[in-house]
Copies of this chain bind each other. A is one copy, B any other.
């Protein structure tokens, strides 16, 4: 900002221009006209369109010949038809490299995450075979690496364990897992079909960061089990039980950590090395637990294992809902992130349908819940993946493994899997992002903290619920207590801005100019009424001190009032009453607001030109002429 002196000169310099401006404005005041009439039906249609079809998915169909329309429709449902035809060998070269890379991650991680969900390791590999193929056909992201993910596995495992023990009743547990996966897919697909994708938006970035950090810690602690080779270890969620049982077991667990740090490297290498080591030294006979025999062969069908009845149905549906939404959120977020990087669009609702169908199909081919994984997708992207073909390459590799390489895993020590999980999930703790959030918005940080602590100390579901609840509460609070800001004139112009923000802005005697910065509705009319009357009181109190000319007009700048309801309209009536002989002037009410105001007021107050202006400048200019004191001397 330039020093005062110069700005003063500036003012003087502008003086004549300013006053001339005012006269001009006074000469030609723009009238506030009601918007062109629209029927209720039209408005409703528009509102619904904006709510459910903001991206106007069918606009590409407009004015196309029928044949073309069919092709477009097919391409819309199966994006592969879009990029497939002009797929080239050049693209394939990059896809095969990235595909093999993520396969080297997917195989060990698949086995590990399956164990995290208390499922047989082989299910993890099944889930890395079928779903990627389905996604390749339906999905519109080019970087998503599809398969089981740590968080969803963790949640499914811990939720189902509440009612059924995976060790005592493995078959039932497996059935519930598949059924939950089916419901998860159903939820995902229907969110997409019903265009309700915005529901996942309520999991804010802050919530997710806190949530994932918390989950990561829970998972890591759980893995201390296999890492420290602890045999009797609580599988319950929640920090307290886990910690206690860790401390309870450390004495026997002190000999493993070296192996832990070794295996923290690249997953596949460590799997191979450790497997070789175990095999060479017959370590499985010396207390190292290994995966053991895995049957070969591809996914067996599992639709006969889906149970839509029985006592556990409630739990299964709840599990499906939560894992479905969580994994959906991860998948969509990953897709959007890389789409933004490479500058292409992913249609949220289409993605949801794709992921949903993928899981429904998966649930009947021995797969549990899958989605696009953060870590593997990043690897996929960096390895230079060009299209979803890298997923095909991966799943072919997994297929080969399933058919021929299963015996090799017999000697893979569980400890390595634990290490793989830990290294994967530790990457989910995003400290820099947390710090950034702290820097920008303390309240978001609070939300993040609640999600984190909730997950760590209470439970995954409660933690999420609390965080979402707080974020929504914040929004409601913003509505219930909208900002009202006093505006002043920017010298040498007819611009009016926040007096507390722009120090050079000056008040105009006789005018109280307030800008209301929220929709006006039942939740805040009482507050606004109190607040505005207090503004007036304070203003007049000051004036009495400074012996200024008394308050004549209260101008409400309505540009920021995006909506109004019946409580809002009667609020204005009451306000006008309470103002007595002071004039209440509205500036630039938006179309919808203006309509409702004028429909609501029978007195016609809000139709009189001297109570409606298009800009504050014009209002002040034409009103100050009605005040005794000559309008010039207030600059």
Contacts and interface: CB of A to CB of B under 8 A. Distances in A.
A631 interface: no
A188 to B, nearest CB: 16
Contact of A566 (B44, B205, B336, B481): B205
A201 B343 contact: no
A1 B591 contact: no
Contacts of A577: 340, 343
B36 A471 contact: no
A591 B202 contact: no
B523 A574 contact: no
Most buried by B among A207, A442, A522, A578: A522
B522 A202 contact: yes
Interface string A430-451: 0000001101111110000000
A201 B526 contact: yes
A578 B340 contact: yes
A432 to B, nearest CB: 12
A492 B565 contact: no
Interface stretch (A48-56, A168-176, A261-269, A295-303): A48-56
B55 A28 contact: no
Nearest to A56: B534
Interface residues of A, number: 97
A527 B54 contact: yes
Contact of A500 (B10, B35, B56, B472): B35
B205 A502 contact: no
A497 B588 contact: yes
A9 interface: no
B500 A201 contact: no
A476 B475 contact: yes
A566 B437 contact: yes
A476 B472 contact: yes
B202 A348 contact: no
A510 interface: no
A206 B566 contact: yes
Contacts of A481: 50-51, 54, 198
A336 to B, nearest CB: 8
A519 interface: yes
Contacts of A31: 1
A226 interface: no
A559 interface: yes
B480 A444 contact: no
Most buried by B among A439, A560, A569: A560
B492 A531 contact: no
Contact of A471 (B477, B519, B522): B522
A220 interface: no
Contact of A30 (B198, B340, B495, B566): B495
A566 B441 contact: yes
Contacts of A28: 10, 14, 492-493
A506 interface: no
Contact of A343 (B482, B497, B562, B578): B578
Interface in A595-622: 596, 599-600, 614-615
A543 interface: no
A530 interface: yes
A544 interface: no
A447 to B, nearest CB: 9
A517 B478 contact: no
Interface string A1-35: 10000000010001001000000100010110101
A69 interface: no
Interface in A35-72: 35-36, 40, 44, 50-51, 54-56
Contacts of A440: 565-566, 569, 596, 599-600
A490 interface: yes
A77 interface: no
Interface string A474-517: 01111111110100001011010110111100000000000101
Nearest to A491: B30
A440 B602 CA distance: 12
10 contacts: A40-B442, A198-B481, A201-B524, A205-B566, A439-B599, A444-B566, A475-B479, A495-B614, A518-B562, A560-B560
Given A205-B567, A471-B522, A515-B559, 16 more contacts: A1-B31, A1-B33, A28-B493, A33-B502, A35-B500, A35-B501, A56-B534, A206-B565, A340-B574, A345-B533, A436-B600, A441-B596, A443-B565, A444-B565, A497-B614, A517-B560
